[in-house]
Amino acid sequence: MKAVIQRVSKASVTIDQKVVANIKNGLLVLLGIVDQDTTEDINWLVNKIANCRIFNDDNQVMNQSLIDINGDVIVVSQFTLHASTKKGNRPSYIKAAKPNVAIPLYHQFVSQFETVTGKSIQTGEFGADMKVELLNDGPVTIIIDSKNKE
């Protein structure tokens, strides 16, 4: 399971010209899922993201977590995070989990995030053509892969 997390001042997701998610201070999480991902990957990744100290404290030092600042979150499914660009110029997405595997894991990820943060997590729509807007704060963008825990 791979996530790109972006610290944002604001972010939104629009589908068919309708805003389906909208946050202020917090994180936009782009989530890629592979067939081998498990509940263990979900738990590890959610805890890592929720507790990652990437928000500024009073001294303007990145020393606070999403939980510390009571920040908001949008989670967007993004199978292209697992693109392989080894051969040719057209990326291959063969590593990305098919919807029958990915959708339940995606929903479990969101549910676990709500449990850990105690907040409602906003989302895009799995498989939809989404327009994602954000104001990256910093900018701070971090890639976390649950397969690289050690």
The CATH number of the domain holding residue 41 is 3.50.80.10
Q: What is the pLDDT of residues 110-149, one digit of tens each?
A: 999 999 999 999 999 998 999 999 999 999 999 999 999 8
Q: Which of 80, 115, 117, 123 is catalytic?
A: 80
131 vs 137: CA distance, rounded Å? 19
pLDDT score at 24: 96
pLDDT score at 128: 93
* Segment 51-63 mean pLDDT: 97
DSSP string, 123-150: E--TTS-EEEEEEEEEEEEEEEEGGG--
pLDDT score at 124: 95
* Segment 101-110 mean pLDDT: 97
pLDDT score at 37: 96
pTM of the model: 0.95
Any catalytic annotation for residue 123?
no
82 vs 103: CA distance, rounded Å? 16
The domain of 90 spans 2-148
pLDDT score at 55: 98
- H helix and E strand count, the chain: 3, 8
pLDDT score at 149: 80
70 vs 68: CA distance, rounded Å? 6
Query: How is residue 27 written in tokens?
Result: 């994180």
* Segment 16-24 mean pLDDT: 98
Report how many domains make up the chain: 1
